[in-house]
Amino acid sequence: MTLKDESGKAKGNIFFIAYTKDGVTDVSKRPMTYTFNGGPGSASVWLHMGAIGPRRIPMTDKGDALAPPYQYVNNEYSWLDKTDLVFIDPVNTGYSRAVQGEDPKQFLGYVEDIESVGEFIRLYTVKYGRWASPKFLAGESYGTTRAAGLSGYLQDKFNMYINGISLISSILNFQTARFEKGNDLPYPLFLPTYTAIAWYHKKIAKEYQSDLQKTLREVENFALNEYSTALMKGDLLPESEQKQIIQKLSKYTGLSESYIKNANMRIEIGRFVKELQREEGKTTGRLDGRFTGIDYDNAGERYEFDPSLDATISGPYSTAINQYLRQDLKYENDLPYLLLTGRVQPWNYGNVQNQYLNVAETLRQAMSKNPFLKVWIPSAYYDLATPYFAAEYTINHAGLKPEQRKNVKFTYFEAGHMMYIHKESLIKLKKEADQFYLEALK
């Protein structure tokens, strides 16, 4: 679909794949879900062929890739029985590009992305006659940032009100995930995920190994109270208190007390994934902490690659989407299909200079103006890209009133960022999605 300015000048081409039910005479009875992934710089292939489209990539029950060449099969857990689906690839992902002679930078930023994807949704809704349909957004990772932004943009710009939003592996407040000097917020918010991953690899202290949920509740309480207070004190923290905090962090993370002390009690994600299994000569996945990799040597501070991306999902998803488009959908395009690319960088955050992007406020305003808007947040315990405790923190600080909080639901999975590669979690995701659509359409 070509995006044009109001003078009719073409600006960009958005590639999309839509699945709609035949024979529907009353579109008000058939929901429409606009779907995308994140990055920024990711095509919609992950949700499309991993979770909610009509085909999926078979993997082991854990989520390990099978041997190449990779295949795809019918997806019995697709959401198509509940809703029509449109998978959107923003400019410079998938086959989407700026038109010749146009600068792609006009699409590459938070505001620019919201405007272009929002315009695509408006155009699709108009051209295919779906104004009367119940409308949903489903985003993953930065796609949740986009979805929250669109909840306000579509409402304010086009008076298009949304019934429900699925925020899969959510990040709305970027202060929760930016490990920068002077910003101590990520450290307590990532801690429960460090604990879960250390538990999975049996690195945690033995007294915490038996019951993950009980352990996480204890660590969450520690993170909110003792640990946050200690970080707040900074250099004023007494040595005796510092020692106690370091001892507990070591028990909760599996890292040595000396390492934590040398890190000034602040465990940055890049260090954690290298340090946790260093003695075994292994690195730990960022997108999914259940997976391990092997570097050239064990002495480095950070891993060479993310084993939960490069050694697990990149190959299968690339093969599947490229084969599926030509073989099944009979669509031909000689451009490279960009799954996850740096061609969107630098991403423009000029709208929030000297502050962190926080679209939770946009979502709050949308929910205030539309009290029927339902929000579903599937989160995974082994996800270091968008930790579940940070997602909880964001909602707990969004300023929602009790009657609004009733419209927000969390679901938790013992998996990673793409929880659907884990067979048990894929089944659970489908079950929870069915319930979400049922409740949102009451």
Overall size of the chain counted in residues = 442
Domain limits for position 196: 180-267
**What's the CA gap between 342 and 336, in Å, rounded?**
14
Q: Is residue 199, in this structure, part of any structural domain at all?
A: yes
Tens-place pLDDT, residues 316-362: 999 999 999 999 999 999 999 999 999 999 999 999 999 999 999 99
Q: Is residue 416, in this structure, part of any structural domain at all?
A: yes
Q: Is residue 295, in this structure, part of any structural domain at all?
A: no
- What token pair was written down for 167? 């925020």
Q: Is residue 291, in this structure, part of any structural domain at all?
A: no
169 and 200: one domain? no
130 and 197: one domain? no
Element (H, E) at 271: helix 269-275
CATH of the domain at 346: 3.40.50.1820
- What token pair was written down for 327? 């073989």
**What's the CA gap between 442 and 437, in Å, rounded?**
9
Give me the chain's average pLDDT, please. Answer: 97
- Contact between 54 and 84 (Cβ < 8 Å): no
Domain boundary among 267, 288, 321: 267
How many domains would you assign to the chain? 2
Q: Mean of the pLDDT values across residues 274-285?
A: 97
**What's the CA gap between 172 and 202, in Å, rounded?**
31
Q: Is residue 73, in this structure, part of any structural domain at all?
A: yes
**Residue 293 corresponds to which amino acid?**
G
**Residue 73 corresponds to which amino acid?**
V
Q: Is residue 308, in this structure, part of any structural domain at all?
A: no
Tens-place pLDDT, residues 368-401: 999 999 999 999 999 999 999 999 999 999 999 9
Tens-place pLDDT, residues 188-199: 999 999 999 999
Reduced to 3 states (helix: H, G, I; strand: E, B; else coil), residue 2 is: strand
28 and 98: one domain? yes
Q: Is residue 37, in this structure, part of any structural domain at all?
A: yes
Q: Is residue 290, in this structure, part of any structural domain at all?
A: no
pLDDT at 417: 98
Q: Is 62 exposed, middle or buried (0-12, 13-18, 19+ CB in 10 A)?
A: middle
Radius of gyration of the chain (CA): 22
23 and 116: one domain? yes
DSSP string of 87-116? EEE-TTSBT-EEPTTS-GGGGSBHHHHHHH
317 and 407: one domain? yes
Domain boundary among 267, 286, 303: 267
The confidence band for 311, taking pLDDT boundaries of 50, 70 and 90, is confident
